[in-house]
Structure 1
Amino acid sequence: GFFRRSIQKQIEYRCLRDGKCLVIRLNRNRCQYCRFKKCLAVGMSRDSVRYGRVPKRSRERSSGEERVSTSDNSSSAATPPDPETALSPVYDLIVSVSQAHIANSDYSEENTRTLVRKPLPSPPSPVCAGPEVASSTAESLEQQRIWLWQQFATHVTPSVQRVVEFAKRVPGFCELSQDDQLILIKVGFFELWLSHASRLTTDTTLTFSDGTFVTRQQMELMYSIEFVQSMFEFTAGFNSLLLGDMELGLFSAVVLLSPDRPGVTDVKAVEQHQDRLVEALKLQVSCNLCGDSPSVLAKLPELRVVGAKHALILDWFRLNWDKLRLPPLFAEIFDIPKCEEDLQ
């Protein structure tokens, strides 16, 4: 079934491990390129695909002249439905979402493998002299917080467009209304970004897609100790699942199409799309992670809690928008005013 779909749809696969993946039943969906190559290696023919499948029972009837077809009904008692064929739409969904993720993620396995890490530059220190040594400690901390937040925004902004392009390629997303699409992207962006950035997060640092990393202490100054604690707890647990690009892409799509986001109008449609994606994620995980899909799905509510805390923290930045110099796209995705007109 996989080989037939690949030929008929002329799908081109890529291998992230130089075409040397071990392909067995438990992990055959991890690398479609090597799975397809193995199909060819064991003798599957591209030319035979256009003739379609001939049931074994039919071949036996036609090759044996001594057999007489006495009963069409009994002889054509259909062979049991092919499980591979029944799951064909799910496999197609897995392929589509995985390709969308790999094409639009700066945090893919290939991109992060050779990434060179470098620290975030230190904030500029105010020059003070005489009795007027400096402003109060509170003002100094606020200045550092604003500076760090602006650096953070600059490094995260490229991921906004990446998430938008990924969303447009997730099957079913563009069928939703423009308003629902916008809500799902804006409300879910931080959760999607954190899921991807988890791959480059340690106990003490968070690394952006260009290799620049921010320390946990800097993050605590930007946000709060309690929030950063929950954020790093999530990334540590998420990393322990060892998700590949295919699983991470499907997980991201499930997060994106969350029907209970505030403001979504066509809840039923979003829910139907998410249900299909959850089914695809479970199937992919069952093949590659020894069936531990409950552990992966358990991360969804945990991530939602982190996202809700982040939304509350944004209120401070919305109130102090006039002190910030943020990239327009970043300000838009988080509804942070850029001018007086945005407040009306």
Structure 2
Amino acid sequence: MSEEEEQLQAKGSEEEEEEGEEEDEESKICQVCGDQANGYHFNAMTCEGCKGFFRRAMKRPATFRCPFQKNCVITKNNRRQCQACRLQKCLSIGMRKEMIMSDQAVEERRWKIKRKRLMAEPMLLSTQQEKLILELSTALEQTFDRTCSSFHQFSPLDRNADSVNNQTQQSSTSNSVASEESDRNSSSEGPGSSSSSSSSSSSSVTCDTGQAPGEKKTVFTSLSHVNDLSTYMIQNVINYAKIINAFRALTIEDQISLLKGATFEIVQIRFNRLFNVKTGIWECGTLHYCMDDAFRAGFQPHLLDPLLKFHYTLRGLELHDIEYTLMETISLFSPDRPGVTNRDVISCYQENLAVTLLTYIESKRTDSEKHLLFPKIMACLTEMRTMNEEYSKQVMQIQDIQPELSPLILEVVSQDS
């Protein structure tokens, strides 16, 4: 290793000296080799070269032997000729092994310094990031029907709860969530907030075995409408993904795996834009939905309770439309979905999306707590991942009881890739 390489390696090791320490002396001399020193390292004034040498020597269980008389005079020019005497000189001037930071501590310190510098400097979106945002915003505009104006030929929404279960009772979990959020927003429950917290205490709903032979009875009264709405929104999510250049560049197999894994999450993120926290109602133009509609479609509290809480939490972040869009695209490009093969490419693009979201937040928001927004968004994404499996499970249970779900919905929740 050359002298220049040694110094470069030493400079890149870690910042273990105290930051900001200033010396008034015109010259600093390394106490080991006499070279120009730049501060105290491991309790002694040394140059970068001797600092790096001592760190490497202490971290590697190597035994050095002096080829001469064990009393070599260490200078800038010959310091690499006898490692044994150089190490002994380091120890004699008071350099201490216990002051060497672990690799993990070094990485943590580097990250803190980097983050501090980034926070000190104003963050601006790059040209590439602006193009990415434009591409995603354009794709969203073409595929997100906020008022359901293009949602035609759907089954009517039957809110007849009697045909679901005569023993329907208030779910304590949902009721507490709605009550807590209502108090938080200092407003009384709207015309649907009470029904949005109503669900069955039973884990499943079964058909009336006393019905006459051949008589068809609707068990889940809202299922036909929710089936049509879900199919419509899934089709829009698929169309959204196909507009994104990076998605189209993937293999068909990976495209299918990503869509199957993320569709539920993206639909919920899109639905959250329409959620009214004061009433607990999703307002889709002339169509309004409450959580009871999902219950009357066969979904149960194990999913509906945390899902309602999620919508209150995410809506409470008051995200910009671009932040919503980046969030759902981060969900789409998840490299750990079952069946994904080209994980490196997908991971790289997801990281680019995350950095763009962070940069957008830092550059466009001015509130004092903006630094907390990015981790809160990522926490919401993680929360949805925990509900995804339960959603698939309940969809299959509903299909077993009342088989009328569309092939597209069943394909999305199927486990094969």
TM-score norm. by structure 1 comes to 0.60
SS in 1 for 2:224: helix
Cα offset, 1:163, TM superposition: 0.8
- Cα distance change on mapping 1:185 and 1:208 into 2, 3 Å: farther
Measured at CA, do residues 266 and 196 of structure 1 come closer, stay the same or move farther in structure 2, by a change above 3 Å? same
For 2:287, the aligned partner's letter is T
Structure 1 residues 286 and 325, CA, compared in 2 at 3 Å: closer, same or farther? same
Residues 107-128 of structure 1, C-alpha deviation per residue, up to 9 Å, x if partnerless?
3xxx589xxxxx93334988xx
Instruction: Note closer, same or farther for the CA distance 1:145–1:277 as it changes in structure 2 (3 Å cut).
Output: farther
Which has the larger share of helix? 1
Shift of 1:330: 3.2
Query: Within 1, Cα distance between the matches of 2:337 and 2:295?
Result: 27
- Which residue of structure 1 lines up, in the alignment, with residue 384 of structure 2? 303
- Secondary structure of 1:147's counterpart equals coil
Equivalents in 2 of 1:229, 1:275: separation in Å?
Answer: 31
Deviation at 1:209, TM superposition (A): 4.2
User: Relative contact order (C-alpha < 8 Å, sep 6+): which is higher?
Assistant: 1
* SS in structure 1 at match of 2:337: coil
Distance 1:219 1:317 in 2: 12
Counterpart of 1:156?
Answer: 230
**Which residue type is aligned with residue 262 of structure 1?**
P
SS in 1 for 2:207: helix
Partner of 1:326: 405
Q: CA RMSD in A?
A: 3.4
The reply on whether 1:231 has 2:307 as its aligned counterpart is yes
User: What is the one-letter code of the residue matched to 1:237?
Assistant: T
Q: Which amino acid aligns with 1:198?
A: N
Matched AA of 2:354: V
Confirm or deny: 8 A CA contact 1:192 1:255 kept in the other structure.
yes
Q: Equivalents in 2 of 1:225, 1:86: separation in Å?
A: 42
The reply on whether 1:105 has 2:105 as its aligned counterpart is: no
Q: Which amino acid aligns with 1:330?
A: I
Q: CA deviation at 1:314?
A: 2.3
Instruction: Identify the match of residue 213 of structure 1 among 269, 281, 288.
Output: 288
Shift, 1:211, TM fit = 3.8
Cα separation, 2, equivalents of 1:280 and 1:155: 32
TM superposition shift of 1:101:
1.4
- Cα distance in structure 2, aligned partners of 1:205 and 1:324: 29
Judge conservation of contact 2:282–2:288 (CA < 8 Å) in 1.
yes
Secondary structure of the 2:317 match is: coil
Structure 2 counterpart of 1:94: 133
In structure 1, how many angstroms separate the alpha carbons of the residues matched to 2:281 and 2:408? 21
How far off its partner does 1:162 sit? 1.1
SS in 2 for 1:213: strand
Q: Is the 8 A contact 1:148 1:218 kept in 2?
A: yes
Equivalent runs, 1:68-147 vs 2, <5 Å = 87-107=126-146, 111=147, 120-123=157-160, 138-140=206-208, 145-147=219-221
State the shift of 1:87 in Å: 2.0
Q: Percent identity?
A: 22
Cα offset for 1:199? 2.1
- 1:59-70 equivalence runs, <5 A: none
> 2: distance between equivalents of 1:236 and 1:224?
18
Cα distance in 2 for residues equivalent to 1:250 and 1:159: 18
Superposed displacement of residue 171, structure 1: 3.6
Q: Secondary structure at the match of 1:259?
A: coil
Match of 1:192 in 2: 266
What corresponds to 2:106 in structure 1?
Answer: none
What corresponds to 2:242 in structure 1? Answer: 168
Q: Alignment length, in residue pairs?
A: 236
Asked if the contact 2:124–2:363 (Cα under 8 Å) also holds between the matched residues in 1, the reply is: no
The answer to whether residue 332 in structure 2 is matched with residue 256 in structure 1 is yes
Residue in 1 aligned with 2:15? none
Query: How far 1:304 moved relative to its partner?
Result: 0.9
Output the CA distance in 1 between the equivalents of 2:359 and 2:148.
26
SS at match of 1:298: helix
Query: Residue 122 of structure 1: SS of its match in structure 2?
Result: coil
> Per-residue displacement from partner, 1:61-99 (whole Å, max 9, x unpaired)?
xxxxxxxxxxxxxxxxxxxxxx99982212211221122
Give distance in 1, aligned partners of 2:131 and 2:342: 25
Contact 1:191/1:303 (8 A) holds in 2? yes
3-state DSSP of counterpart to 1:185: helix
- Segments of structure 1 that go 5 or more residues without pairing to the other structure are 1-82, 114-118, 127-136, 337-342
Q: CA deviation at 1:305?
A: 1.1
Please, which moves more after superposition, 252-261 or 221-230? 221-230
Structure 2 letter corresponding to 1:153? N
